[in-house]
Amino acid sequence: MLIEPRVFQDERGEFFETFQAERYRGITSVDFVQDNFSHSKQSVLRGLHYQIECPQAKLVSVLQGEIFDVAVDIRKGSPNFGKWVGVSLSSECRKQLFVPIGFAHGFCVISESADVIYKCSDVYHPPGERTIQWNDPELAVEWPIKTPLLSPKDAVALSLAEAPCFNIGVKDRCLS
């Protein structure tokens, strides 16, 4: 879900709420428990990440720069299983992407660098973390870069066919 917050601008600069529980409750019933920050250089690609244990919904925003942000439905039984959506998010447009539980998530940096923040509905749980290949031919994500800079973990990721996926309707939480 793409969210466009109200931005108030004048000669002094701008102001907007990056999150407000009551207003966002109409969008999602997720309770966010952790905020993450990522600073990345141009051509860095992070993802496609998810947690099979302690799954996370995410609300992604860009503070500085521009990214191409991708969410892939990995819920077995979903009519959209294996389908992806990609959007440009930037510090100029101020749009946010809500990525629900049951989706793998990743982004690549289009600008010289980018500062990304994202709210998560559960804590980081290293034993449950999984990664799907950014260039899996079955997914055919149309990334705007062809030779990304990857972490060692992302460079050896599994294909969608090899990766453990969610059952539709997953709501598992570690923090219950």
The tokens for 43 are 């051509």
- What secondary structure does DSSP assign to 26-52, as a single string? TT--PPP-EEEEEEEETTBEEEEEEES
Q: Which of 24, 39, 49, 50 is catalytic?
A: 49
The pairs formed by 21-26 with CB atoms below 8 angstroms and a separation of 24 or more are: 24/59
Active site residue 118: yes
Check if the beta carbon of residue 155 is closer than 8 Å to that of residue 47: no
Q: Which of 24, 50, 105, 118 is catalytic?
A: 118
Cis ω before 48 (30° cut-off from 0): yes
Active site residue 24: no
Q: Which residues are catalytic?
A: 49, 118
